[in-house]
Amino acid sequence: MPRSLSSLSSWLLAEPLVGLHSQIYGLAEAAGLTPELRDLRARWPWRHIAPEAWVAPLRALPPGALAPPWPDVLIGGGGKAAPILAALGRHGHAMRRVMVQHPRLKISRFDLVVVVRHDQLTGPNVLVTRTALHRATPARLAEAASVWAPRLAHLPRPWVAVLVGGSNGRFRLDAAVAEDLSARLAAMMRADRVGLALTPSRRTDPAARRVFADRLRPLGAEIWDMTGENPYYGMLALADAIVVTADSVSMISEAVATAAPVMIADIPGRSRRIGLFTQALIDEKRVRPYQGRMEHWPVAPLDDTAAAGAEMARRLGF
């Protein structure tokens, strides 16, 4: 008889990156699991070697990082988790191994691989979603709305939530880029008489954060200063429209899970995969490029996380 996933033990394995944690937690929670997080921190020399080239993956971790008793389900996220999950299967461990994101290894080495459609990966054990997995569930957003509505009540309606990422290997978001984006946001506040709340991420350059604060606070914008409770979920839940920088699939995915129209703010850089991701959402009229003005059009929440959790449970036989 199939077992309930709530009765199963589970581990999450990923690098200590917020975006990855959001994806693997989102999948596990959607399936009814109560997982333990095991941060993946490769030791020398493995940390300097591409994960797909690790000859002895289990030796990449500090001694004792992963040891029996093994969980029933192991969910890994990101490139460094893939060879670890594959190696555990090769060593005969009976746990079910689920890989989130393209593993860059043979997919036959995993029980299930969950990818976003822009990864362009298919196979009998591949589950494809339209957006990245996340934790911005209706219940979590409703709870955040009740907490943050009085704290953000001073913002004039309509108001726009701005989700800011940061520089990475493909995009640049430094102080100069922040100056340009701040100017566009300020012009929108003046022209459209909208309120604005902005939250940076851990990847946002401190110099860029200062620019946003210096340029937008004098106009009445609410700018999170990275101290105290993050208003991120409250902003998602309450905003009349959302602007997201183009560098983050995770933030865009969380934004389109709401009932608000979403605009993508272009920043210098290019990623073929992210380009495919955003273009599909543009074609489906769920997002638009940010043109420096407040825009509103009919939209519906787009979120495959709950369905992915249910399908994972079905495919694993639980």
Q: Where are the domains of the chain?
A: 5-134+306-316, 138-289
CA distance 9 to 88: 16
Collapsed DSSP state (helix, strand, coil) of residue 225: coil
Please report, as a single letter, which amino acid is at residue 80. Answer: K
305-316 helix and 18-30 helix, angle to the nearest 10 degrees: 60
Residue 301: asked if its preceding bond is cis (omega within 30°), the reply is no
CA distance 65 to 77: 16
The reported pTM is: 0.93
Q: Fold identical between 5-134+306-316 and 138-289?
A: yes
Tokens linked to 216? 């937008």
**Of 32, 40, 42, 35, nearest to 12 (Cα)?**
35
Q: Is 151 left (phi over 0), alpha (psi -120 to 50) or beta?
A: alpha
Is domain 5-134+306-316 classified as CATH 3.40.50? yes
Each residue's pLDDT tens digit in the chain (318 positions)? 345 666 899 999 999 988 899 999 999 999 999 999 999 999 999 999 999 899 889 999 999 889 889 999 999 999 999 999 999 887 666 789 999 999 999 999 999 999 999 999 999 999 999 999 999 999 999 999 999 999 999 999 999 999 999 999 899 999 999 999 999 999 999 999 999 999 999 999 999 999 999 999 999 999 999 999 999 999 999 999 999 999 999 999 999 999 999 999 999 999 999 999 999 999 999 999 999 999 999 999 999 999 999 999 999 988
Distances (CA, A) of 299 to 48, 257, 258, 263, 306: 44, 10, 9, 12, 19
Which CATH number does 138-289 carry? 3.40.50.2000
CA distance 249 to 5: 28
242 membership: H or E segment, kind and range: strand 241-245
Tokens linked to 294? 């407040």
CA distance 245 to 289: 10
Burial class (CB in 10 A: 0-12, 13-18, 19+), 294: buried
201, 305 Cβ separation under 8 angstroms:
no
Tokens linked to 45? 């020399």
